[in-house]
Structure 1
């Protein structure tokens, strides 16, 4: 089970980073008016966010909160707090402007929370890396 959960968390990390990076690039481009700045910020986030997201997944895997929509909402808010802080700091550093960093970070709060919630709901329906749930489901299907 532990190896499967690691594979699942890595797969979720990669799929979320693809969605999140695209969102960051587009928002940064719109806010700064410079596609290169958007690409720089999005590129920098690939590394920081994958590490932070993986650690976030591992923590939530070990928290004893029952699978539910509430859990997905709590995960959404905790991840968004971590992600926004990271985006703000990277955007400030890359653009040289704390105001630009703040604008990009604030814009992401809305778009990323919506995207993350649907990413979580989608992964909740996927059995990849969840041997227990897969076994229960296939037992129910044969009954």
Structure 2
């Protein structure tokens, strides 16, 4: 694994966290009815999600789904990454929302809403990054 791949994964983590945080703030605000609660939950997630996302990227980078020694990138791989990330992300969001609001039901509601919005946003994010070569020496495209 080269140093460029680390830079790529950090860049992806930062861009995804920006999109994800905005989504969390809006959903938390709508569900809790309090914009400050939305901001607290969104800001609490920034650190936890950046770390979790970075490690998620590293694991997926090491998963060798290859043909003729070249890592295959495909819509199926992006969908699988979307599902695994959403499970991790939803658990983190529900836990933080529960802690911040003191209400486990609020955490569950926010987590449930995020499943839909975040999976769509994450898939689009993955497809956009697939078109960017930053941090990749070579690859095959689908």
| Moved beyond 3 Å, runs of 4+ | none
Backbone CA RMSD of aligned residues: 1.3
How far does the alpha carbon of each residue in 1:92-143 deviate from its partner, in whole angstroms, 9 at most, with x for none? Answer: 000000000000000000000000000000000000001224xx89xxxxxx
User: Which residue of the partner structure matches residue 121 of structure 1?
Assistant: 127
| TM-score of the two chains, using structure 2 as the length reference | 0.92
| TM-score of the two chains, using structure 1 as the length reference | 0.92
Aligned residues: 135
User: Which residue of the partner structure matches residue 89 of structure 1?
Assistant: 95
User: Which residue of the partner structure matches residue 27 of structure 1?
Assistant: 27
* C-alpha distance in structure 2 between counterparts of 1:29 and 1:88, whole Å: 14
Q: Give the drift of 1:67.
A: 1.0
* C-alpha distance in structure 1 between counterparts of 2:137 and 2:106, whole Å: 45
Gaps of 5+ in 1: 138-143
Greater helix share, 1 or 2? 1
User: Which residue of the partner structure matches residue 37 of structure 1?
Assistant: 37
Q: Does 1:69 align with 2:75?
A: yes
Gaps of 5+ in 2: 66-71
User: Which residue of the partner structure matches residue 53 of structure 2?
Assistant: 53
Greater Rg by CA: 1
User: Which residue of the partner structure matches residue 15 of structure 2?
Assistant: 15
